[in-house]
Amino acid sequence: MEAVAEPGNLAGVRHIILILSGKGGVGKSTISTELALALRHAGKKGDPYMPCRHPGSLQVGILDVDLCGPSIPRMLQAQGRAVHQCDSGWVPVFVDQEQKVSLMSVGFLLEKPDEAVVWRGPKKNALIKQFVSDVAWGQLDYLVVDTPPGTSDEHMAAVEALRPYSPLGAIVVTTPQAVSVGDVRRELTFCRKTGLRVIGIVENMSGFVCPHCTALCPWTPSSRGAWRRAETLSKSSPTALPFTHSPP
Amino acid sequence: MTCTDHQGENALTDCPGTGSAQAGRGTACQGCPNQRLCASGAGEAPDPAIEEIKEKMKTVKHKILVLSGKGGVGKSTFSAHLAHALAEDENTQVALLDIDICGPSIPKIMGLEGEQVHQSGSGWSPVFLEDNLGVMSVGFLLSSPDDAVIWRGPKKNGMIKQFLRDVDWGEVDYLIVDTPPGTSDEHLSVVQYLAAAHIDGAVIITTPQEVSLQDVRKEISFCHKVKLPIIGVVENMSGFVCPKCKKESQIFPPTTGGAETMCQDLKIPLLGKVPLDPHIGKSCDEGRSFLVDTPDSPATVAYRSIIQRIQEYCSLHRPEEERTSLVPETRGDMDASSTASAS
């Protein structure tokens, strides 16, 4: 199906970035959150690499399409917030006082925090489409889309729904061990097959900084052979991020 | 939460539920894309595969699911080492089934990457690591490690059905089922297809931090909802000993009390805590048993204690007395009743 940009709730969004990983627990949600917060503070006047409407602060949205394990509300201390409606649809939840960072997650739609979303694929697809078309995102410089691990319903639904808005691409997250890199290779194949550009790879948890002696320790082996293959597939070199503090 | 195909301000509240007698017939159903399907009752008839799988599973004594709402907590690592440990007794027949269709880690962790599945007159043959340890994974069906399984739910469900119905496991003492994170198609399917065959219980894996526990509570809700017994919870990556200064620190701090507090609150057994040992990752990457590679590690001691408790649970289990119906909704999603709370 040819992607055609239609006016809609994403018409005011300048750049869309998906955060993907074939592997669970590598830090997608953490990186999505940290990226969104970093972007919110980025953007100096005249900066050609970070053009924005209001220099000094960008307007950033986060779309959490991990329906079974929505982590972002907790990471941004926004649990329990209510989602309101307006003429254009659902109003995303602002997580900061300045209202520069907005968030939509199924976590806001659950009656209780421990409520399990036990849905099969078609129902998940329907909600993701609603998150894309029925959330009044307004004017955003960046929309960061956090995804669950894998290459299945949520990912296909998100890519299909976002395709008309020409996403910038995907950041693929992994950890050093071969088991993670193996899943990431599959995710890179998913990106290639769906025509999603890979902005780059992030190797998260690439080491642990001991709080007692400040030594940088490998907490898991790094599979250099697998990395070389991932670099070939993505045509980019991974960026390594060590553990430097406790995750939320 | 219910059918989300409705538009308008009453979305998420008026759907009677796809399993309801009013499904497709209520006022709220008018205009719903699923209305015709619900009204036809097409989803009511049980899948014949459930009975076929029940027959197949008669040669399997104990079935254990390894679950977690959270990804990356060590489900596959635990499943693999549970299988290794049980198979150390050559008189115990062990089967390891990997139903993580999109991210099949088991072949790598078991050192079986590149192996192929063969067919015989009695079905698919699992890949045998030892004479008494057979393994099945979609990873064995892929022609390249880069192949992505980009499948929607129904196709994944079909694969799981085939794994349970068409694999010739033979006489098995323990069938261990490794699952992907979440509470979705794969989890619903494996519970539904094994409904008549009876599952001993689920081992739920978590790490200490609240972000994991949050998802694990949902998994526990799922287990309660589908009446799946919970053998207990394993807290993985519980403490890290710095190889330089030997002091312990928490990579994933238990800011809300960790699995111990969660288990006390939900009255579920905590099977044990496994510290983070870098050698675990090394053994997994190289396809070897960490329990054999590093027998003196505190992590090995913890694993063995947990595995012994699982064996004790299974040996005390009496299927005839404790058999309960595990058949949830057989059509489509579990809707109006499909969100469950752990509390």
Question: Any idea what the CATH number is for the domain that residue B229 is in?
Answer: 3.40.50.300
Share of chain A above pLDDT 70, in %: 79
Task: Check whether residue B93 and residue B240 sit in a common domain.
Answer: yes
Q: Is the pLDDT assigned to residue A229 strictly greater than 60? A: no
The band of A213, judged by pLDDT with boundaries at 50, 70 and 90, is confident
Q: Test B105 with A182 for CB contact under 8 angstroms.
A: yes
Higher local confidence (pLDDT), A236 or B259: B259
Query: By CA distance, what is B251's nearest residue in A?
Result: A246
Query: By CA distance, what is A29's nearest residue in B?
Result: B211
Q: Test A24 with B185 for CB contact under 8 angstroms.
A: no
> Would you say residue B168 lies in a domain?
yes
d(CA A141, CA B151): 32
Alpha-carbon distances of B256 from A133, A244, B233, rounded to whole Å: 36, 21, 16
> Would you say residue B331 lies in a domain?
no
Task: Check whether residue B42 and residue B64 sit in a common domain.
Answer: no
> Would you say residue B243 lies in a domain?
yes
pLDDT at A238: 58
The band of A234, judged by pLDDT with boundaries at 50, 70 and 90, is low
Q: Test A121 with B154 for CB contact under 8 angstroms.
A: yes
d(CA B123, CA B134): 14
Task: Check whether residue B143 and residue B243 sit in a common domain.
Answer: yes
A25, A179, A212 ranked by CB distance to B247: nearest: A212
pLDDT at B214: 92
Task: Check whether residue B64 and residue B102 sit in a common domain.
Answer: yes
Higher local confidence (pLDDT), B246 or B134: B134
> Would you say residue B332 lies in a domain?
no
Q: Is the pLDDT assigned to residue A115 strictly greater than 90? A: no
CA distance A196 to chain B (A): 14
CA distance A224 to chain B (A): 12
pLDDT at B43: 52
Task: Check whether residue B29 and residue B76 sit in a common domain.
Answer: no
B146, B222, B276 ranked by CB distance to A185: nearest: B146
pLDDT at B325: 44
Task: Check whether residue B39 and residue B131 sit in a common domain.
Answer: no
d(CA B43, CA B47): 9
Interface test with B, best of A21, A120, A132, A216 (most B CBs within 10 A): A120
The band of A195, judged by pLDDT with boundaries at 50, 70 and 90, is very high
A71, A208, A243 ranked by CB distance to B211: nearest: A71
Query: Which chain A positions have a beta carbon within 8 Å of B276's beta carbon?
Result: 219
pTM: 0.83
> Would you say residue B64 lies in a domain?
yes
Domain ranges, residue B106? 58-318
Task: Check whether residue B116 and residue B201 sit in a common domain.
Answer: yes
**Alpha-carbon dihedral B43, B102, B143, B105, rounded to 10 degrees:** -130
> Would you say residue B106 lies in a domain?
yes
| Tens of pLDDT, residues A166-181 | 888 999 998 888 888 8
Higher local confidence (pLDDT), B230 or A58: B230
Task: Check whether residue B124 and residue B143 sit in a common domain.
Answer: yes
pLDDT at B327: 44
Task: Check whether residue B31 and residue B114 sit in a common domain.
Answer: no
Task: Check whether residue B29 and residue B135 sit in a common domain.
Answer: no
The three state secondary structure string of chain A is CCCCCCCCCCCCEEEEEEEECCCCCCCHHHHHHHHHHHHHHCCCCCCCCCCCCCCCCCCEEEEECCCCCCCHHHHCCCCCCCCEEECCEEECEECCCCCCEEEEEHHHHCCCCCCCCCCCHHHHHHHHHHHHHCECCCCEEEEEEECCCCCCHHHHHHHHHHHHHCCCEEEEEECCCHHHHHHHHHHHHHHHHHCCCEEEEEECCCCEECCCCCCEECCCCCCHHHHHHHHHHHCCCCEECCECCCCC
Q: Is the pLDDT assigned to residue A47 strictly greater than 80? A: no
Residues 126-185 of A with CB under 8 A from B: 126-127, 130, 148-153, 155-156, 175, 177-179, 182-183, 185
> Would you say residue B131 lies in a domain?
yes
| Tens of pLDDT, residues B3-24 | 443 333 333 345 566 656 666 6
Q: For chain B, how many structural domains are there in total?
A: 2
Task: Check whether residue B40 and residue B97 sit in a common domain.
Answer: no
Q: What is the mean pLDDT of residues B166-171?
A: 93
Alpha-carbon distances of B155 from A147, B102, B152, rounded to whole Å: 20, 11, 6
Task: Check whether residue B40 and residue B100 sit in a common domain.
Answer: no
Judge whether B333 and A120 are in contact, CB under 8 Å: yes
List, in order, residues 6 or more apart from A117 with CB less than 8 Å away: A67, A68, A106, A110, B1, B183, B218, B338, B339
Neighbours of B33 (CB within 10 A): 11
For the ranges B32-41, B163-172, B177-186, B300-309, the lowest mean pLDDT is seen at B32-41
What is the predicted ipTM?
0.81
d(CA A162, CA A157): 8
Q: Which residue has the tokens 């254990």?
A: B64
Report chain B's mean pLDDT, rounded to a whole number: 84
Q: Is the pLDDT assigned to residue B1 strictly greater than 50? A: no
> Would you say residue B285 lies in a domain?
yes
Q: Quick one: which H or E segment has residue B224?
A: helix B210-225
**Contacts A–B by Cβ distance under 8 A:** 240
pLDDT at B253: 87
